């Protein structure tokens, strides 16, 4: 799976230069399929010389890189020995399984992106990827075993098992956009479900210089109740999403307006 360069990653770009170095050290280990990374981090405790909590950098890496599907991300272990800090978690897969799944995901991603290339603009390619995931993934909370409980949060659950929860949808959309050269980030917040708020994940994308919200999970739920793919959750503004989404607006880009059809003709979005 090809991925965009680290300096273009949203959370990476928000870090100080020293913290970017810590990010690179951890990422370089994990991107090789490892689940433990030992880094050089002078100081005391689990903060960097720039004063950032190492776990905040770990979370930035997880948010930026959906291809790190092998990591169990609910609990990390930290240990300091002098200037070295070891960060680790469990790997969901054996090395052989990781290699096999990586190959399957590369083929799956290549096939999806090949189909997307038939569309003439970034906007129509975004629409294709959005609708493809809505049509091909079912919301599912997983089977009662540890591996399934992990996979529903990853691109394996979304792209290979066709069953996941919200962050699985969001990571799959981010991965496809990354590989298509489209700017996309994950948003972590809450949504109103019935009478309760629940943790939720969705995306923000950039199109023609403007940012928009995209919620593939809620579009999938809406599609199950009616025919076709809802545009209610596609390329929307902060105001449109604020009715049933909550997020830290200081952390994420401003989405000033809904995408409208009066954009240049080459960027008109056509959904079936």
* Residue pLDDT, tens place only, 96-106: 999 999 999 99
Q: With 80 as the cut, is the pLDDT of residue 262 above it?
A: no
Look up residue 14 and give its two tokens: 């928000």
**What is residue 228's predicted lDDT score, i.e. its pLDDT?**
55
Domains located in the chain, CATH noted:
6-88 (no CATH), 102-267 (3.10.620)
* Residue pLDDT, tens place only, 165-184: 999 999 999 999 999 999 99
């Amino acid at each position: 799976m090809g991925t965009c360069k680290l300096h273009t990653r949203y959370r990476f770009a928000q870090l100080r230069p020293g913290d970017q170095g810590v990010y690179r050290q951890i990422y370089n280990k994990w991107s090789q399929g490892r689940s433990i990374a030992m880094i050089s981090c002078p100081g005391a405790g689990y903060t960097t010389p720039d004063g950032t909590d190492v776990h905040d950098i770990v979370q930035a890496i997880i948010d930026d890189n959906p291809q790190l599907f092998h990591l169990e991300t609910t609990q990390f272990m930290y240990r300091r020995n002098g200037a070295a800090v070891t960060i680790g978690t469990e790997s969901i897969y054996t090395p052989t399984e990781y290699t096999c799944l990586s190959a399957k995901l590369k083929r799956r991603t290549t096939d999806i992106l090949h189909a997307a290339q038939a569309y003439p603009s970034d906007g129509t390619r975004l629409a294709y990827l959005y609708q493809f995931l809505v049509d091909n993934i079912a919301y599912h909370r997983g089977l009662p075993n540890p591996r399934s409980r992990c996979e529903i949060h990853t691109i394996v659950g979304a792209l290979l098992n066709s069953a996941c929860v919200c962050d699985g949808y969001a990571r799959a959309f981010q991965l496809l956009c990354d590989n298509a050269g489209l700017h996309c980030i994950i948003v972590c917040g809450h949504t109103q479900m019935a009478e309760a708020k629940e943790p939720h994940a969705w995306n923000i994308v950039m199109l023609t210089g403007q940012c928009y919200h995209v919620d593939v999970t809620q579009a999938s739920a809406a599609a199950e109740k009616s025919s076709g793919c809802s545009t209610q959750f596609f390329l929307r503004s902060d105001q449109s999403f604020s009715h049933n989404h909550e997020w830290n607006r200081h952390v994420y880009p401003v989405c000033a307006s809904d995408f409208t059809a009066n954009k240049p003709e080459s960027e008109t979005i056509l959904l079936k």
